[in-house]
Amino acid sequence: MLQRTWSVTIGLLDAHGICPSARKRFVKRFPEGAEVTLANCRKALAAGFDLGWLIVEMLPPVGRSVYSETMSLALSLFRAATRREEARYLDVIQSAWAMIQWAYPPPGPIHYQQHLMAFDDRGWQADQATSSLAMGRYLPDDVQLFRQVAQRAWQVYQRDTASARAEFRYSQALAAYLVLTA
């Protein structure tokens, strides 16, 4: 199979409407542009670039479909590989929350939403932000203890799923590379 080679340049990204923050990161990471290689796809993912956006912008529908199906399978495999760790994480969060609810029965409707999030490297920050609104009626020490438990549980989840997350990121880079060079 003949693989085409091409480069992603800031001009190309500008023509497709790259957002200002991603543009700044791209120029910093790849000042001369970047040839589409597996190594550069991995570097782009590590730098936080959304290769899915690039694929949607650059490829015809059949290429987007292949990438989408491949990533759907990779995500299913990732979820299967991390199901136990995710359940353990949620159990810890829910148990800690239940203890606070027991100590402080709500005066009205419960404002807590289950701590489900996109499990990625930003997950704890997203979790912390969504729970801070509901924490207003509790004592600061109890809120701090809950956040410490939640943060520690997130760290354990991150540690226990590190290899699965690395494999998923590699699958993402490989799929992007293959469809972008096909």
Token code pair at residue 71:
């990533």
Number of domains present in the structure of the chain: 2
- 106 φ, ψ to 5°? -70, 140
Domain containing 63 equals 7-75
Higher-scoring residue by pLDDT: 182, 20? 20
Q: Let me know whether 35 and 101 are in one domain.
A: no
- 8 φ, ψ to 5°? -100, 125
Q: Let me know whether 87 and 157 are in one domain.
A: yes
Q: Let me know whether 103 and 158 are in one domain.
A: yes
Domain boundary among 27, 46, 75: 75
User: pLDDT tens, 11-20?
Assistant: 999 999 999 9
Report the pLDDT averaged over residues 95-103. 81
Q: Is residue 181 part of a domain?
A: no
Q: Is residue 45 part of a domain?
A: yes
Q: Let me know whether 85 and 138 are in one domain.
A: yes
Q: Let me know whether 61 and 101 are in one domain.
A: no
CB 122 within 8 A of CB 96: no
Q: Let me know whether 143 and 105 are in one domain.
A: yes
pLDDT in the model for residue 4? 74
User: pLDDT tens, 44-57?
Assistant: 999 989 998 989 88
Q: Let me know whether 66 and 129 are in one domain.
A: no
Report the pLDDT averaged over residues 75-95. 93
Report the pLDDT averaged over residues 170-180. 92
Domain boundary among 75, 99, 120: 75
Q: Let me know whether 98 and 68 are in one domain.
A: no
Q: Let me know whether 89 and 148 are in one domain.
A: yes
For the entire predicted model, the pTM comes to: 0.72
CB 36 within 8 A of CB 7: yes
Q: At a CB cut-off of 8 Å and minimum separation 6, what does 157 contact?
A: 85, 86, 88, 89, 119
Q: Let me know whether 85 and 156 are in one domain.
A: yes
CA distance 49 to 52: 9
User: pLDDT tens, 100-158?
Assistant: 777 776 555 444 443 433 444 445 444 554 455 455 666 777 778 888 998 999 999 99
Dihedral of alpha carbons 125, 126, 129, 132, sign: negative
